[in-house]
Amino acid sequence: MPFITTRDNQEIYYKDWGQGDPVLFIHGWPLNADAWDDQMKCVADAGFRGIAHDRRGHGRSSQPWDGYDFDTFADDLNDLINTLDLRNLTLVAHSMGGGELARYIGRHGSSRVRKAVMVGAIPPLMIKTPDNPEGVPEKVFEDIKRGILGERSQYWMDASEPFFSANRPDNRVTQGNRYAFWHMGMQESIQAGVKCVDAFARTAFHDDLRAFDIPTLLVHGDDDQIVPIDATSRKAVQIIPGATLKVFEDGPHGLTLVPGYKEMFNKDLLAFLRS
């Protein structure tokens, strides 16, 4: 399996499919690169080079005790991009991965980046504060950590329901979607699980978003039960210069995996890549 070694000697797994201008996919939490397989094949079939990595602590990458903050994640992404010498690059990120993308632009700039896509992404800020009343209450994040520490296997199975909006009438979610989520969650280390909750809950990305100087597409489902659209993408589109927001009606948080929604997203992704 292919790996790159980071500046602090951690091993980051990645997959690399196809040829052409590169499209690098950044997964959400608690997933890994496999969450992007449908999109990886889609872009590779269309003449692009699809790349996806497992964030440290997730999947097949190293599982160190620390380093679960967005500066470190952005620097890991920078190590991957530089090692593979990627240029004219489109970054595509889901959920927590949107924070990784934003911090990469804020920390390392966009000299290698052509475009950006963020799906159900957490920027500019997830947690509810007096200045962010649309955010998620702190108790929700503490309950997530208690669930992981208490019995994470059952927690991941339970969490798959709101992740995909499987609790809605006439939803399109398959049992396979939910098992895949559980399987990827179980490959994340328990330390990464709880530390990432603190990171994606409390990290503010306002300054990072202001640093964007590339065409940016935001995609968000209006039934996202994990990352509320009003606290995130509806605000991010006002901060990122020239950004566009596309709202998927009744779309869940995990829309890139759910039949029906994923085909719609893939079509929009290819159109954006070719524009």
Kindly report the number of other CB atoms within 10 A of residue 84's CB atom. Answer: 18
58 classed as catalytic: no
User: Which residue is catalytic, options 62, 189, 224, 233?
Assistant: 224
Tell me which residue of 126, 106, 130, 95 sits closest to 235, measured CA to CA. 126
191, 246 contact by CB (below 8 A): no
- 95 as an active site residue: the answer is yes
79 is catalytic: no
**Which H/E stretch holds residue 119?**
strand 113-119
Is-contact 1 9, C-beta < 8 A?
no
Active-site entry in 53, 58, 220, 253 = 253
What 231-238 contacts at long range (C-beta under 8 Å, 24+ apart), as own/partner pairs, is 231/125, 231/126, 231/128, 231/132, 231/134, 231/135, 231/136, 232/120, 232/121, 232/122, 232/123, 232/124, 232/125, 232/126, 233/118, 233/120, 233/121, 235/124, 235/134, 236/118, 236/121, 236/123, 236/124, 236/209
CA 226/CA 118 separation, integer angstroms = 15
Residue appearing with tokens 């927001």: 245
Catalytic pick among 53, 58, 94, 95 = 95
Residues noted as catalytic: 95, 224, 253
